[in-house]
């Protein structure tokens, strides 16, 4: 049994989608980051960085924080969505790191400055929107001759999808990136993705 500590953010959705995809039983613990739940001593003991998501695996006694590490852990635990051969394994890890180091931070900054910042700063909005669109282009090119980011469906897709899914929230469109749009629509209809994207349910 996995204990999942999460909230309604793209990073949180990565873990719940993965858990649905690998069909592991899990219990959801809502960490309401709007109320500061992530700073409680009990949660800091699980994730010293006070971010979501995190998991605790009752089978092994291990706790894991950072969404990318969680995906790798669950992939290794179940033998799913992370190739065993070195070449393809590192291809998936490259694109997972691309999501962790570029897609998440840049899309997240755009979300912040466009939707949540108390003051609208045109320079910041323009900077992060331009970079978001550049990253759309990188993904679009990668998907030009592949159904999924690394060919076969993997944790690279699971990590990236919840962030791309925020495009409407950001006031953007995928129409200029046909390969990315096709990929998004393909992943979106997976039953596990639909279930995981609703954990925890939005109020």
Return the DSSP state at 198.
Answer: T
Domain with CATH 1.20.1050.10 in the chain: 86-190
Q: What is the pLDDT of residue 103?
A: 97
Give the 3-state secondary structure of residue 200: coil
Q: What is the pLDDT of residue 202?
A: 75
Q: What is the pLDDT of residue 179?
A: 98
Domain with CATH 3.40.30.10 in the chain: 2-80
Q: Which residues of 27-64 are buried (b: 16+ CB within 10 A; e: fewer)?
A: ebbbbebeeebbeeeebeebbeebbbbbbbbeeeeeeb
Q: Which CATH number fits domain 2-80: 3.20.20.70, 3.30.470.20, 3.40.30.10, 3.20.20.30?
A: 3.40.30.10
Per-residue pLDDT of the chain (203 residues; tens, 9 = 90+): 999 999 999 999 999 999 999 999 999 999 999 999 999 999 999 999 999 999 999 999 999 999 999 999 999 999 999 999 999 999 999 999 999 999 999 999 999 999 889 999 999 999 999 999 999 999 999 999 999 999 999 999 999 999 999 999 999 999 999 999 999 999 999 999 999 999 998 76
Do 149 and 157 touch, CB atoms closer than 8 A?
yes
Q: What is the pLDDT of residue 115?
A: 87
86 vs 92: CA distance, rounded Å: 10
**Which value, to the nearest 10 degrees, does the dihedral of the CA atoms of residues 12, 177, 93, 151 take?**
120
Q: In CATH, what number does 86-190 get?
A: 1.20.1050.10
Instruction: Give the helix/strand (H/E) hosting 44.
Output: helix 41-44
168 vs 78: CA distance, rounded Å: 33
Q: What is the pLDDT of residue 203?
A: 64
């Amino acid at each position: 049994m996995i204990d999942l500590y999460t909230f309604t953010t793209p990073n949180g959705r990565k873990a719940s989608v993965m858990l649905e995809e690998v069909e592991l039983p899990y219990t959801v613990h809502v960490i309401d980051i709007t109320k500061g739940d992530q700073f409680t001593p009990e949660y800091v003991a699980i994730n010293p960085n006070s971010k979501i998501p995190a998991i605790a695996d009752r089978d092994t006694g291990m706790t894991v924080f950072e969404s990318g590490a969680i995906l790798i852990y669950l992939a290794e635990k179940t033998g799913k969505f992370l190739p065993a051969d070195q070449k393809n394994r590192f291809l998936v890890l490259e694109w997972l790191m691309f999501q962790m180091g570029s897609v998440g931070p840049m899309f997240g900054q755009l979300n912040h400055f466009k939707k949540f910042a108390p003051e609208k700063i045109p320079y910041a909005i323009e900077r992060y929107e331009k970079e978001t669109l550049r990253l759309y282009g990188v993904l679009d090119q990668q998907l030009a001759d592949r159904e999924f980011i690394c060919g076969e469906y993997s944790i690279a897709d699971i990590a990236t999808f919840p962030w791309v899914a925020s495009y409407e929230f950001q006031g953007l469109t995928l129409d200029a990136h046909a390969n990315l749009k096709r990929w998004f629509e393909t992943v979106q209809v997976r039953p596990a993705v639909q279930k995981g994207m609703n954990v925890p349910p939005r109020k």
